[in-house]
Amino acid sequence: MGGTFDPIHLGHLLIAEQAREVAGLDQVWFIPSASPPHKLNKKVTAVEHRLQMVKLAIDNHPHFHLSEIELHLPSPSYTVHTLETLYKVWPNKQFSIIIGADMVKDLPNWYKIERILELSQIIGLKRPNVLVENLPSWIATKVNWVTDRVEISLSSSYIRKQLKQGLSVRYLVPFSVEQYIKEHHLYGS
């Protein structure tokens, strides 16, 4: 499960757990983007902090794993490069990409999407408030849909705004992540 994770929150963890259970995945790997291509002109928290927050969030979950693979790849962090590198290191594993319906809608615009679809299965999280229409059939047939069992409208940008305003993020992020944010004075906390 790739993402900026700026910061990781309970919505990310819930999505990962639902996808793991419904799609029968052995593990979910969290891969923080070192240099997300869609955020090149935006301020992103240092990757070291984002890695540490993911590590804290998934600690003690037997099926969640943190991968730092994108730290060793050239910028920007394109999914296709990550997948090709994963297969070089683990040629006998099968990799899936877990994304929300909002990201599924954008798949036709992803860099080298044809190659991504050759290399991986797409697990799309259906959400009642997001319609995915007019998706090209060559992409639509490659998406394995999982219905969101618990809909949570939560985003990292919302959490950053809360923190900047001095408001609580308790119950939005794991406690250990909340403590890390405070300790390192991230997001204006």
* Integer CA distances (angstroms), 111 to 28, 106, 120, 170, 189, in order: 23, 11, 14, 36, 35
Residue 37 has pLDDT above 80, yes or no: no
**At 42, is the secondary structure helix, strand, or coil?**
coil
Which bin fits 73, alpha (ψ -120 to 50), beta or left (φ > 0)?
Answer: beta
For residues 123 and 146, is the Cβ–Cβ distance under 8 A? yes
Structure tokens at 88: 């070089």
pLDDT of residue 59: 96
Q: What is the pLDDT of residue 40?
A: 62
Q: List % helix, strand, coil for the chain (3-state, nearest 5).
A: 45, 15, 40
Full-model pTM: 0.88
User: Regarding the domain delimited by 2-183, which CATH topology (the fold level of the hierarchy) does it fall under?
Assistant: Rossmann fold (3.40.50)
Percent of the chain past pLDDT 90, that is, above it, reads 68
Peptide bond into 32 cis (omega under 30): no
The domain limits of the chain are 2-183
